Structures are given as C-alpha cells and as structure tokens.
Amino acid sequence: DAKTTQPNSMESNEEEPVHLPCNHSTISGTDYIHWYRQLPSQGPEYVIHGLTSNVNNRMASLAIAEDRKSSTLILHRATLRDAAVYYCILKPGNTPLVFGKGTRLSVIA
Amino acid sequence: DSGVTQTPKHLITATGQRVTLRCSPRSGDLSVYWYQQSLDQGLQFLIQYYNGEERAKGNILERFSAQQFPDLHSELNLSSLELGDSALYFCASSVGGSGYEQYFGPGTRLTVT
C-alpha cells in the first residue's frame, strides 16, 4: 500500500484556519487522496477526497501539490467540534481504505 | 448521524463464545464494509460486501465470517472468541463498490472476558 506521513499531533485556536499536512511521495497516478476524521467515541467520518485538482466541500478544502507528493486538508475556521484524529489515506481505485495513525488535532478555546 | 446503524452498541461475552454483530447501511448504499479498531492495531479493514457478494477481504480471521442479505443489511459473526478480539467493530457503507465515500456507523464495542 502507498504510504502517507502525517504529524502525530497539531494544535489550533478556535475560529482560526487549520492546515493539516500529508506527505505521500510514493503516490501513483491512480491513487486518490482521501481524508477521514474520527471524533472521540465515534466512528470515522468522511471528509473529502481528490485526485489532482483542489477540492472544496462544506466541511473542508483539499489542496493537492502539483507533483501530488503532498496535500493539505484545510479547515477554514476550527471549532471545538473539529477536535479529532484526521487520517490521510491513499486509495488506488477499487481497494479498501487503509488507515494509518493520523494526526490528532486539538482545538483550544 | 451517518445513516448507518449498528446493533448492539455494547456486547460483553466470555472466551470461546460466538456473537453476531448487525449493520444496516444507508438507504441506497449497496456496499457494506467491516472494520476492527483496537488500541494496538488501530483501524483495520476486515471485509467488504457489494450487493450481496463478497468484494474484498482484509485481515479477517478464519474464526470470523460475514454476509450481506438481500435487504442489504450485513452481519459479522465472530466465533471461538479470544481476549484479543475485544475491540470496536465498525460498519461502513457506500453507494458503489469502489468505496470512495464511506459512511461509518457508531460501532459495536465488544468485550471478551
């Protein structure tokens, strides 16, 4: 499986933007970049995914580097509810999600 | 609320026993996935069903089995339970078989004593 590297933890102030980085230097052309998050005591939650172009949805934005070797999940205005473990996952086509350790995001009021 | 339901929420049983976990996918979703989350192994994919047929298999033990029924709900059967099977078991569903957007249920917490 293609690997991703994420910081173990990050901290953000409430109502400020958060940029969560993900490195995936061995990404292949068919790998989609997926982000999920897991709030405390809940199941994982789909956030966003993309292939080459930047993507926006109601939850977040995904910025993908031109060489696709890294990406950044952007939460435009962090709230306390955004405190969670964020997983960056490469998924080539019809294959299962493989979760790593993710980044634990803490949001400070 | 993801729309995926799982029962029961909690299950406590003894070693050697057999249990069944149940999952109802979101309306319209044809794929069901099962995952196990333990403290030492993290979130691991177990198995996927798509419209009643097994589609993909992960690190699922031979003591575990699953099926998806015609109404698309799924059951995960765990037998000859061991202490190490204690974990959170999540079910997820997606519209298609490729699993690009998976929606997870709240999980079943299994404790084997």
CA distances from B50 to B6, B31, B33, B59 (A): 18, 4, 9, 18
Residue A49: list chain B partners with CB under 8 A: 100-101
Do the Cβ atoms of B99 and A44 come within 8 Å? no
Residue B4: list chain A partners with CB under 8 A: 43
- pLDDT-derived band at A96, boundaries 50, 70, 90: confident
Nearest CA in chain B to A94: B98
- Give the pLDDT mean for A54-75: 96
Do the Cβ atoms of B97 and A94 come within 8 Å? yes
Is residue A94 within 8 A of residue B48, CB to CB? The reply is no
Q: What integer pLDDT is reported at residue A95 of this predicted model? A: 84
- Taking the CA of residue A96 and the nearest CA in chain B, the distance in Å comes to 7
Who wins on pLDDT, A2 or A90? Answer: A90
B103 part of contact set with chain A, CB < 8 Å: yes
Q: What integer pLDDT is reported at residue A1 of this predicted model? A: 54
Q: Is the peptide bond before B8 cis (omega within 30 degrees of 0)?
A: yes
Q: What integer pLDDT is reported at residue B40 of this predicted model? A: 81
Paired tokens of A40: 């405390």
Paired tokens of B89: 């078991």
Helix, strand or coil, per DSSP, at residue B28: coil
- Give the pLDDT mean for A92-98: 84
Residue pLDDT, tens place only, B28-87: 999 999 999 998 888 999 999 999 999 999 989 999 999 999 999 999 999 999 999 999
Q: What integer pLDDT is reported at residue A2 of this predicted model? A: 58
A100 part of contact set with chain B, CB < 8 Å: yes
